[in-house]
């Protein structure tokens, strides 16, 4: 499959270097091919977005929303086909991949619904004959950089609100997953999106830097690693440019002595191993009350050992490969380093045999929190556990991280749950459910080194993709 860049409404092969998208379950199989956009093409894409911005902003909100609804219908209709393509290029199991495609359609519909919600505010004025209006206006041209792990859902939750609120977009997806990016752009253009409103350019780090630093790009939305995110934040700070970043996570699940251990083991397993652990909200740290620690870890290790790992397109497979050989090597070396530092591996030591970038699901007993694993995000199917003497210590250990994206707490005690709401320094807290997962109608994002700027999704999207104007509207003299 050949994928193309989209610049000013025209599909272009690209003038840059050739790239190939490999199937991580069978790396010899090429899923898609294409060419990166050249620097000149990136500049043309930004110019096209700038030229299209006034017309799209002036288009009635309901007309913009109609494009998103039509695109959502196209995405839904292709969910089975595109889900299989997603599984082939990214490695998710087929059920997860199809669900992600359908989820992208729901996200587009949700943001189309903004046309039916309030679009501003009115306040009383102390002056006779005057009202004070607070109106929302589009920001302008939005630069977007999206990661590999949710190749259609994350772009949808950025592009959907950006377009709904009247912005134009220049988008660089991860070069590891070009096909689903191409599919989403196809759906939006086929739905009637005007030329230049959405521009898709493939590239590597220099392409992202060009988008972030261009003076015609008004704001930047980034999802990716903390290291790259901090560089994006710094550059946007130099340029006084609004920025939204969703970065890394080192998410903790806390299991207290009163928890339902079967349920907790199931949910921690889902949080750690579903999507092969390649989620910013995945569970990678586990804090267990000492009174139930051995029992819980025995159940979790049994679940991990029983997981069926293999080709994500095959029926019955529960966990697919990592996205690349570099990802596999990073995870494998991280597990080895943890063992060298004193961790006890209950599962996940033996490498996967045969072709493909697979890593076994790993459960580690850590010697404490003063190890590299406690601090470093591996972005793979590995969870490391420590013991806690009770709820107070467990909450303290969960906060012992530079990251603050998501956490999960398993308890039957409502008082402890409310204490966790007060104490935990995270953007998302799940009580008695896995650490991963979000809905499009509520805010999503982290604190500390996990996020910067306005949150994503729900009403929070309004804060990033629009600017407020306060209007003092007086009657003529």
Active-site positions read: 246, 280
**What DSSP designation does 427 have?**
S
Rounded Cα distance between 255 and 434, Å, is: 11
Per-residue tokens: 465 = 């993709």
219-223 and 141-145 strand pairing: parallel
**What DSSP designation does 79 have?**
H
Q: If you compute the radius of gyration of the chain from its CA atoms, what whole number of angstroms results? A: 23
Rounded Cα distance between 201 and 217, Å, is: 14
Burial letters for 392-411: b for 16+ Cβ neighbours within 10 Å, e otherwise?
A: eebbebbebbebbbbbbbbb
Mind giving me the DSSP string for 53-73?
HHHHHHS-HHHHHHHHHHHHH
Contact between 140 and 168 (Cβ < 8 Å): yes
**What DSSP designation does 214 have?**
-
CA distances from 24 to 291, 331, 344, 424 (A): 41, 15, 29, 36
62 burial type by CB count under 10 A (0-12 exposed, 13-18 middle, 19+ buried):
exposed
Per-residue tokens: 327 = 């990802």
Beta bridge partners of 388: 289
Per-residue tokens: 406 = 């998501």
């Amino acid at each position: 499959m050949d994928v193309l860049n989209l610049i000013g409404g025209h599909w272009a092969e690209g003038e840059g270097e050739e790239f190939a998208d490999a199937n991580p379950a069978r790396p010899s199989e090429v899923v898609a091919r294409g060419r990166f956009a050249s620097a000149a093409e990136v500049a043309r894409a930004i110019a096209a977005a700038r030229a299209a911005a006034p017309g799209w902003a002036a288009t009635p909100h309901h007309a913009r929303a109609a494009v998103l609804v039509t695109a959502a219908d196209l995405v839904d209709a292709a969910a089975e086909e595109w889900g299989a393509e997603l599984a082939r290029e990214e490695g998710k199991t087929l059920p997860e991949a199809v669900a992600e495609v359908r989820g992208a359609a729901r996200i587009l519909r949700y943001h189309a619904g903004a046309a039916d919600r309030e679009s501003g505010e009115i306040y009383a004025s102390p002056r006779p004959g005057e009202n004070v209006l607070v109106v929302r206006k589009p920001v302008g041209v939005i630069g977007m950089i999206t990661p590999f792990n949710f190749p259609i859902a994350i772009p949808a939750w950025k592009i959907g609100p950006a377009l709904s609120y009247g912005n134009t977009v220049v988008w660089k997806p991860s070069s590891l997953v070009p096909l689903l990016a191409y599919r989403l752009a196809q759906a939006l253009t086929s739905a009637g999106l005007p030329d230049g409103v959405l521009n898709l350019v493939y590239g590597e780090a220099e392409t992202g830097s060009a988008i972030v630093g261009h003076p015609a790009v008004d704001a930047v939305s980034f999802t990716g690693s903390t290291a790259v995110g901090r560089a994006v934040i710094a550059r946007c700070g130099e340029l006084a440019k609004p920025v939204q970043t969703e970065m890394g996570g080192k998410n903790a699940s806390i299991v207290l002595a009163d928890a339902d251990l079967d349920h907790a083991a199931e949910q921690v397993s889902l949080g750690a191993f579903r999507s092969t652990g390649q989620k910013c909200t995945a569970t990678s740290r586990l804090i267990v009350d000492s009174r139930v620690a051995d029992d819980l870890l025995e159940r979790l290790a049994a679940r991990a050992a029983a997981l069926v790992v293999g080709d994500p397109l095959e029926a019955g497979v529960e966990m697919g490969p990592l996205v690349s050989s570099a990802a596999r090597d990073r995870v494998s070396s991280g597990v080895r380093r943890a063992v060298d530092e004193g961790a006890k591996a209950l599962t996940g030591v033996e490498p996967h045999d045969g072709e493909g970038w697979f890593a076994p699901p790993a459960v580690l007993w850590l010697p404490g929190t003063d190890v590299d694993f406690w601090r470093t995000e591996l972005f793979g199917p590995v969870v490391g556990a420590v013991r806690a003497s009770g709820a107070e210590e467990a909450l303290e250990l969960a906060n012992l991280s530079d990251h603050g994206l998501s956490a999960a707490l398993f308890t039957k005690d409502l008082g402890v749950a409310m204490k966790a709401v007060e104490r935990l320094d995270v953007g998302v807290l799940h009580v008695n459910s896995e650490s991963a997962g979000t809905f499009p109608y509520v805010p999503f994002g982290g604190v500390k080194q996990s996020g910067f700027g306005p949150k994503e999704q729900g009403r929070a999207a309004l804060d990033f993709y629009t600017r407020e104007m306060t209007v003092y509207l007086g009657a003529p003299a």
